[in-house]
Amino acid sequence: MFNAIIVDDERPALDVLRLFLEKTDQIHIVGAFQSAASALEEMQSLRPDVAFLDIDMPDMTGLELAGKIIDLGIDTEIVFVTAYDRYALEAFRVNAIDYILKPFSSDDIEQAVARLKKVKPQPVKSQTPEDNGRIYCFGRLSVYGAGSGEAVKWRTSKTEELFAFMLQNLNSKAAKWKIAQNLWPECESEKQLNTNLYTTVYKVKKTLLSANIKFDFTYINGSYKMELPDTYIDAAEFEALTDGEIALSEGSIEKYRKALSLYKGNYLEENEYLWSVSKAEEYATRYRRLVSEFVKYYSAKKDYINAELILQKALTNTPLDDELNEILLKLYSVKKDKTALITHYNKIKDLYRSELGIAPSKSMQELFRGTLEL
């Protein structure tokens, strides 16, 4: 089976192509993107065997994206899927193995896969680690049982919150009073608190058992402790990858690209737990530092395209981040791209006003005014 990414700025077209490709039983979709920039950002970590690209996309065309994929030196074949036949010559100049016109049929897709098999040996099935459960914390908490492709459904919102609280305190003792203070601050009687806590702990255990996730959840001397010895946790991997000083080099860049790809949004942002705010800010600080180091790394090489791509992707995750918005404005200033700077400033000015009721920072305002005076 070949690993593939698909890129098309229109969601319906993306979904239809995914359906046709998966029906062949020879293509495994490892990434589907509506933005060429997002796809490019993930290429090093995904390293697909083949990329199915729309051509006529805003910001970056499929032809431009194909050229950048080739420049990365990844052994990825290119197939263009487009509504226009006028790009055929340029497509084959970037060594595309096929050029499919929309609307396409099953036969068109089968033919493309047949050509792929001729130019690329069928990949040997990799020995992937056993899936003992996966937990994703960036954006919204999502828990997947062992070998399952469907997220766990929690019995109550408090069951999910208790699990999330214990996950944040994984392998450490969490005092009963601290759990109560954070999850049931309104409880006045000890009896009611105990009932709530014991019942919710029971529901957490039942949910984990149903999902075939190995765990230990114990009560010792007034404290609870949870362990998940075999479960993958994205926040734990992100923390391990970003511990200590970040030093980008040719040898370490893949490690840090992985860390970037893990951050899909702020930690437990959509769950809106007050007790997770300090941890969320810790991870956001690490992410800002990581993005900043990537921008410095690429800027030192005068590779402003990749520096901008990193920032644009980061701002899709955290659009209201002052530091990252200012770094992007400074990058446009260094590039002497007056139009891009003014456009982005006006965009964040409107966003800050509508979402936060404030104006951009003084330093961003000064960058903007300085650009107008040029």
Cis bond before residue 103 (omega within 30° of 0) = yes
Q: Note the pLDDT of residue 162.
A: 98
Environment class of 21 (CB within 10 Å of its CB; exposed 0-12, middle 13-18, buried 19+):
buried
Asked whether the predicted pLDDT for residue 100 surpasses 80, the reply is: yes
> Could you tell me the pLDDT band of residue 174, with boundaries at 50, 70 and 90?
very high
- Per residue in 283-311, pLDDT (tens digit) is 999 999 999 999 999 999 898 888 888 89
pLDDT tens digits along 337-349: 999 999 999 999 9
**pLDDT score, position 170:** 97
pLDDT at 102: 84
What's the CA gap between 288 and 282, in Å, rounded? 10
pLDDT of residue 127: 41
**For 210-225, what is each residue's pLDDT tens digit?**
999 999 999 999 999 9
Max mean pLDDT range (259-268, 274-283, 301-310):
274-283
Say yes or no to pLDDT of 271 above 90.
yes
Which tens digits make up the pLDDT trace of 75-99? Answer: 889 999 888 777 666 666 667 888 8
Q: Quote the pLDDT of residue 83.
A: 84
**Under a CB-based contact definition with an 8 Å cutoff, are residues 347 and 332 in contact?**
no
Instruction: Indicate whether 125 pLDDT > 60.
Output: no
Would you state the pLDDT for residue 98?
85
From the list 339, 254, 334, the residue with the least C-alpha distance to 302 is: 334
Identify the band that residue 6 occupies on the pLDDT scale cut at 50, 70 and 90: very high
Share of the chain above pLDDT 70, in %: 94
Neighbouring C-beta atoms of residue 190, cutoff 10 Å: 9
Rounded-to-10 torsion of CA 281, 287, 292, 293: 130
Residue whose C-alpha is closest to residue 233's, from 136, 152, 166: 136
pLDDT given at position 71: 80
Residue at 249: amino acid letter: S
CA contacts within 13 A on the Cβ side of 113 = 21
Instruction: Please state the rounded mean pLDDT for residues 8-37.
Output: 88
pLDDT of residue 371: 87
Contact 66, 78 (CB under 8 A): yes
Residue of 37, 41, 40, 52 whose CA lies nearest to 5: 52
Average pLDDT, the chain: 89
Q: How confident is the model at residue 123 (pLDDT cuts 50, 70, 90)?
A: low
What pTM was estimated for this model as a whole? 0.66
| CA dist., res. 228 & res. 103, Å (int) | 48
**Residues making up the chain, counted from first to last:** 374
pLDDT at 317 (0 to 100): 82
Q: From CA 37, how far away is CA 52, in angstroms rounded? A: 15
